[in-house]
Amino acid sequence: MFSLTDSMLTGVSALDGEHEALVACLNRLAAAEAAGAAAEARRELRLFRDELAHHFASEEAELARIGFPGRLAHADHHAEILAGIERMLDELATGTRLPGDIALECFGRLMRAVLLMDMQVVNWQADRVLA
């Protein structure tokens, strides 16, 4: 089962809570994959995509509100992640990919997003407070 380690937390409770909910989605996807339930895995991946899209939309609105200078690159990164999930869904639907490592791949992408992109925002905000 996947979980967020302390080093993956941003310190922003609302953001960390949303990340925890996304990890819960991935744990359900991993369980479906482990059970060999292809239809359930597709459903869970769609639910993860929808939850992630909602998270990204709210995050992008917050970045615009606070005037984060890297918000366009952040949004581009979000779009890349969502496009990758769409490709996975298409591959599952056509049978060119079977459930097995999708949750692990998504977790890796989510963690890169948390560690690389979200922490940039947290650090930027901290720098503004110190200035």
Q: Does residue 13 carry a pLDDT above 90? A: no
* pTM for this model (two decimals): 0.89
Q: Does residue 130 carry a pLDDT above 80? A: no
51 vs 23: CA distance, rounded Å: 11
Residue 49 tokens, joined: 């995509």
Domains and CATH numbers, the chain: 12-130 (1.20.120.50)
Q: What is the pLDDT of residues 79-120, one digit of tens each?
A: 999 999 999 999 989 989 888 999 999 999 888 777 788 888
In terms of C-beta density within 10 A (0-12 exposed, 13-18 middle, 19 or more buried), how is residue 1 classed? Answer: exposed
131 vs 26: CA distance, rounded Å: 39
Asked whether 56 and 82 are in contact (CB, 8 A), the reply is yes
